[in-house]
Amino acid sequence: MNTPFWLARRVCITGGAGFLGSFVSERLRAAGAPQDNMFIPRRCDYDLTREADVARLYADARPQVVIHLAAEVGGIGANRDNPGRYFYANLAMGLHLIEQARQRGVEKFIQVGTICAYPKFTPIPFREEELWNGYPEETNAPYGVAKKALLVMCQAYRAQYGLNAIYLLPVNLYGPRDNFDLESSHVIPALIRKFWEAKAAGAESVTLWGDGSPTREFLYVEDAAEGIVAAAQRYDGPEPVNLGNGREIRIKDLADMVAREVGFVGGITWDTSKPNGQPRRCLDVSRARELFGFEAQTSFEQGLKRTIAWYAEHHDAILAGRDVQHT
């Protein structure tokens, strides 16, 4: 449904051509943002880790609202292998984008953070007040700390300069158009691809990392996009806000569910020499409901079926390395 808020505002969506960004862009159009008023920078044109490129981006886009989704991140393995790169890239992008927003009088800045910012042993459910009560899980810490520093920057710039910067904490996302590259994907697309390929090869078993005991919460990407656009339109406060659905599932149970949906009938072997990651993740989502009326609408079972169906349709293209983000 169109809303007057978006009709006359120029919006810049960093990462707008990516997994989450493509859905945010679609949701903005559905909310009434004219295509001509939406600017989606491409990495080949703007390196957001460089101050000069960010300044040029703002000069070209002339945004009134900035939704910062761009990030460098992967699953546990990618995070473990790229701690320095992920720390620098994510901190630098946010640093330059927020500073340039201040300099140019941007009306509103939406910083999308990460669930990896929470302490390793956060009590369940994760409440926003717990963000500073410990150090993040080690394999995710450089990425999580870099993103959490941007929360401090948003709050500091609000206090000193009056920049209306908000900070959102989405839980693990999944859905169509996700990254299915086994070197850098997150858990759900990785499981879908592994079980799909094992079924096709007639493999007797699939080996997975850890012991299957950790829990995770997952948010369907279309719901995440709805939450981000709702917050951009209706939330103007300094406090961070979780985006999730409040449901927790063990990785072992998740693996069993994905295998069943894909049709893989072999066994599962757990490689306990590999890291588990954070022991548990499940969010308190009451703040998003109270502050801007967001509640996830897609059940996990429904979202998983849609994701697997999309992968099945695009499997050949994914194996060939073709861009399937917008198909």
The residues assigned a catalytic role are 143
Burial of 99 (0-12, 13-18, 19+ CB in 10 A): middle
Q: Report d(CA 242, CA 127) in Å as an integer.
A: 8
| CA nearest neighbour of 227 among 119, 110, 307 | 110
Work out whether the CA dihedral 187, 192, 193, 199 comes out positive or negative: positive
Contact 53, 46 (CB under 8 A): yes
Q: Report d(CA 294, CA 110) in Å as an integer.
A: 16
**Paired tokens of 216:** 């995770």
130 Cβ neighbours under 8 A, 6+ residues apart: 118, 119, 122, 123
Q: Report d(CA 112, CA 133) in Å as an integer.
A: 20
50-53 contacts, C-beta under 8 A, 24 or more apart: 50/92, 50/96, 51/96, 51/99, 51/100
Q: Where does residue 128 fall: left (phi above 0), alpha (psi -120 to 50 degrees), or beta otherwise?
A: alpha
Q: Report d(CA 97, CA 92) in Å as an integer.
A: 8
